[in-house]
Structure 1
């Protein structure tokens, strides 16, 4: 799909990453299209799976989850035996994100908990599946972001 994204598609993606609740009329103004053409492009990007959803960013501390951590999990054995871990990932809403990795750690998980005791409970549950290493998050100097809009005429990397 990336080979068929033009500059206008990238501009739409940039605006939606900045504000997923922007009105189509305002989005159209910012990308120099009509509202109907903008709506059609957004729907096409959604249908193609380029836009996968719209979410609210939530302040974890203000919602009662002040302890954030990254847990690395070394899960031995073939991937076919990982189903119990996948069930746990679905059940525990404190696990915000899970990445399957190549290297020493099979999984890297981002978690948010209400207290250190709550974090210990999550880590103990994860330890049933393999070796864990836990790092506490002090701050988030760079919040999650999407891909940068390519500059026209810039060399590909």
Structure 2
């Protein structure tokens, strides 16, 4: 059963998706609630899995040299066991920071962050040598980030047709 969200819930989620370190007192003030009702709403949102975690956004360029790569993947065959095997392998490599199963002509998109192109190629070689079922892959090196981790479009997602009626997004 899906939890029904009201405007206060959406304000809480929007504020936290933008600033996850807000104190509960500050968050309560921003959404016009006292701390106790805010705390109850947060616990309810967490219990229903709507808030799945809190994280820090880290500027990798300030920490270490790295490259970010997107890789599209096609598997050799499309049996259930092949998908499961590939997904287990993905989970074993920390450099693969995200993986999406997709429809269409390809099977997966991987987001890989690693030290340099050589370490990326070693990872790919490991995947090809292992029993991963990887048939083909295409590499796309990120040259510069343009937009990332934008505030979630919660209100737009909950409207009937936000694209055809953009004035209703305000």
TM-score, normalised relative to structure 2: 0.83
Give 2:95's aligned residue. 94
Give 1:58's aligned residue. 58
Contact 1:73 1:126 in 2 (8 A): no
1:107 is the counterpart of 2:112 = no
Q: Kindly provide the CA deviation profile for residues 40-77 of structure 1, in whole angstroms up to 9, marking residues without a partner as x.
A: 10110111111111111122233325211001000132
- Give the unaligned 5+ runs of structure 2: 162-170
Quick one: structure 1 residues 143 and 83, their matched pair in 2 at CA, closer, same or farther if it must change by over 3 Å? same
Contact 2:3 2:48 in 1 (8 A): no
1:45 is the counterpart of 2:45 = yes
Contact 2:10 2:155 in 1 (8 A): yes
- Count, aligned residues: 155
Give 2:120's aligned residue. 119
Partners of 1:30 and 1:7 in 2: CA distance? 13
User: Aligned ranges for residues 117-156 of structure 1 at < 5 Å?
Assistant: 117-128=118-129, 129-145=134-150, 147-150=152-155, 156=160
Give 1:16's aligned residue. 16
Contact 2:17 2:152 in 1 (8 A): no
TM-score, normalised relative to structure 1: 0.89
Quick one: structure 1 residues 155 and 86, their matched pair in 2 at CA, closer, same or farther if it must change by over 3 Å? closer
Q: Secondary structure at the match of 1:17?
A: helix
- Give the unaligned 5+ runs of structure 1: none
Partners of 1:23 and 1:69 in 2: CA distance? 35
Shift of 1:26: 0.3
Contact 1:74 1:106 in 2 (8 A): yes
